[in-house]
Amino acid sequence: MMDWTDRHCRFLHRQLSRRALLYTEMVTSAALVRGGALHLLDYGPEEHPVALQLGGSDPVELAEAAALGAEAGYDEINLNVGCPSDRVQAGCFGAVLMERPALVADCVAAMRAAVRVEVTVKCRIGVDDQDPEAVLPDFLSRLRDVGCEKFTIHARKAWLQGLSPKENRDIPPLDYPLVLRMKERFPELHLSINGGITTLEQAQALLDAGMDGVMIGRAAYHDPASVLGAADPVIFGAGQAVSAEAAARAMMPYIAAHLATGGKLHQVTRHMLGLFTGRPGARSWRRILSEGASRPGAGLALLEEALEAVTGAPVT
């Protein structure tokens, strides 16, 4: 998620779940190939399994970008066919590509030819006045025919005119039954469902209904301990739940190393504000970190102070 799932965020999320597949922010193929912005590929070895998400619509450029991602060691290269922002439409990529399945197939074929790691696609069920019942199966089968086997489907349309990107994550109605029917129709494909899923119970129900995977975006970011902290035992049937405190403590050596190389505390702690969501003292935790972490010289002592405020808060 742009501006959210940077490498600090992914490191935090990896402290909470050893198994969940994490995704980078979208990186455009143009930035990598034409702009030479290879720093956008930086990540830490602790983040695995981690997928690089690319945005673009030029098969040659996407193939080059995918090769750079594979060389950097990403476990999966994912193509964004779901993002509705204006900037993205202007460059003809993201959700607008739902209208150009043949081009998407060319892109995926070129990417697959360039790398050994799996190339996957994240898409919507359609855009604007498209009929998802017709468009989505056509889209999936064309991509299957060029060898793409794994998709994440955001179970709502993107309306490309008149809605902001934020509104496009909430206003077009969700259609889980349609996505579940796609799994019945394409049993050979690995299909994950996305959109509006906020709890592991909901995720498990969708897995029980036949989905191969569930992608959780905003809820995992805003309440990472509840969603990711319990994912290993609850969803993957392996490992122990990780508490918010344990994750906060596990971040300390990472933060110390970040500070030692000139990084700022808030660059990491901004992703930790939701760690104690729903717990007594969560507000103090957020306040101490959001007010103090940008101050010059802010360091681990502030994190200790915030942790003390939240763990010492009386349980009501």
- What residues are labeled active site? 83
- Proportion of the chain in helix, strand, coil states, percent, rounded to 5: 50, 15, 40
Q: Which is nearer to ligand FMN, 202 or 311 (CB)?
A: 202
Query: Cβ contacts of residue 12 below 8 Å, gap of 6+?
Result: 224, 247, 251, 268, 271, 272
Q: How far apart are CA 195 and CA 217, in angstroms?
A: 8
Q: Looking at residues 242 to 261 of the shown chain, list those that interact with ligand FMN (rule: CB under 6 A).
A: none
Only one of the segments 11-19, 44-52, 178-186, 193-201 lies at the binding site for ligand FMN (rule: CB under 6 A); that segment is 193-201
The answer to whether the annotation marks 48 as part of a ligand binding site is no
CB of 27 to ligand FMN, least distance (A): 9
- Binding flag, residue 26, ligand FMN (CB under 6 A): yes
Q: Which is nearer to ligand FMN, 206 or 309 (CB)?
A: 206
CB of 263 to ligand FMN, least distance (A): 22
Query: Cβ contacts of residue 156 below 8 Å, gap of 6+?
Result: 124, 125, 172, 173, 174, 175, 195
The answer to whether the annotation marks 263 as part of a ligand binding site is no
- Binding flag, residue 197, ligand FMN (CB under 6 A): yes
Q: Which is nearer to ligand FMN, 174 or 247 (CB)?
A: 174
The answer to whether the annotation marks 168 as part of a ligand binding site is no
Q: How far apart are CA 16 and CA 246, in angstroms?
A: 9
DSSP classification of residue 127: B
The answer to whether the annotation marks 195 as part of a ligand binding site is yes
Q: Which residue is nearest to ligand FMN (CB)?
A: 217
Which SS3 state, helix, strand or coil, does residue 51 take?
strand
- Binding flag, residue 163, ligand FMN (CB under 6 A): no
Q: How far apart are CA 230 and CA 251, in angstroms?
A: 18
Give the closest residue to 270 by CA, choosing from 254, 284, 290, 253.
290
Q: How big is the chain by its Cα radius of gyration, in Å? A: 20
The answer to whether the annotation marks 196 as part of a ligand binding site is yes
- Asked whether 225 and 277 are in contact (CB, 8 A), the reply is yes
- Binding flag, residue 217, ligand FMN (CB under 6 A): yes
Q: Looking at residues 99 to 128 of the shown chain, list those that interact with ligand FMN (rule: CB under 6 A).
A: 122
The answer to whether the annotation marks 53 as part of a ligand binding site is yes
CB of 161 to ligand FMN, least distance (A): 19
- Cβ neighbours of 23 (radius 10 Å): 21
- Asked whether 108 and 143 are in contact (CB, 8 A), the reply is yes
- Binding flag, residue 216, ligand FMN (CB under 6 A): yes
Q: Which is nearer to ligand FMN, 15 or 194 (CB)?
A: 194
CB of 294 to ligand FMN, least distance (A): 20
DSSP classification of residue 97: G
Known binding-site residue numbers for FMN:
53, 122, 154, 194-196, 217-218
| Positions that interact with ligand FMN (CB under 6 A) | 1-4, 25-26, 53, 80, 82-83, 122, 154, 169, 194-197, 216-219
